[in-house]
Amino acid sequence: MPDDDEYEKNELEEVLEKMKRKYHKHMQQGGGGGACCRGLNDYIMLYSDPKFPVVNPSPTVDECLKSIRIRDIAFIGGIMSMSWGYGYILGKPARLPTASTSMALGLTFACLVVLQDTRKRFMGYSENSIEVEKYGLYPKQPQKLVQKDNRFPIATAQFSPIVKPIPRFDTYKG
């Protein structure tokens, strides 16, 4: 356990040292941010790393469909029935064709939302205790940078390498 605390401390020190190196000229001259030497992705606060354990960082549609919960099926049925009622109420001259078209649109919307929700559970962005029990954890979990004080957060990169892998240009054939 003491090794883990020591590792986080070293990680924080590296981030602070990197920030000091980036700002050196502008901070010494009393200038502000120094946008001329800062990249677009520098100093964006860490918001993209998952808050829950990662089951699969890139799940397929088949895996998402196999892990649909009863709550998701109820959501699809509710959206379909509400959209059918909406189409029936507003489709005065041709109520049934309008209602069935509206129901088809509601089904499409609900299925896309459910796929997005199951993907978020696999990737660790929402509560996924059932998926962790059923499929197990991904071997490489992203490292979480612990913020010591929320009033003075430490700026980090936007994505950890587990969430967004570093591109390999040696395999590019263009």
Q: Over the stretch 119-148, which tens digit does the pLDDT of each residue have?
A: 999 988 899 999 999 999 988 887 776 777
Length of the chain: 174
Domain annotation covers residue 172:
no
Q: Does residue 49 contact residue 160 with C-beta atoms inside 8 Å?
A: yes
Largest pairwise CA distance in the chain: 73
Q: Quick check: 44 pLDDT over 80?
A: no
Q: Say if 116 falls within a structural domain.
A: yes
CA neighbor of 114 nearest in space, from 66, 146, 153, 150: 66
The total domain count for the chain is: 1
pTM recorded for the entire structure: 0.60
167 inside domain: no
Please say if the pLDDT value at position 100 is more than 80. yes
Q: For residue 168, tell me if it sits in a domain.
A: no
Domain span at residue 96 reads 2-159
CA distance 172 to 174: 6
Q: Please indicate, yes or no, if residue 87 is contained in any of the structural domains.
A: yes
1 pLDDT higher than 90: no
Per-residue model confidence (pLDDT) at position 158: 54
Cα-based distances in Å from 120 to 47, 50, 55, 152: 14, 9, 10, 29
DSSP assignment, residue 144? P
Distances (CA, A) of 170 to 36, 159, 174: 29, 22, 11
170 in a structural domain: no
- Residue 33: pLDDT above 80? no
| Residue 61 maps to a domain | yes
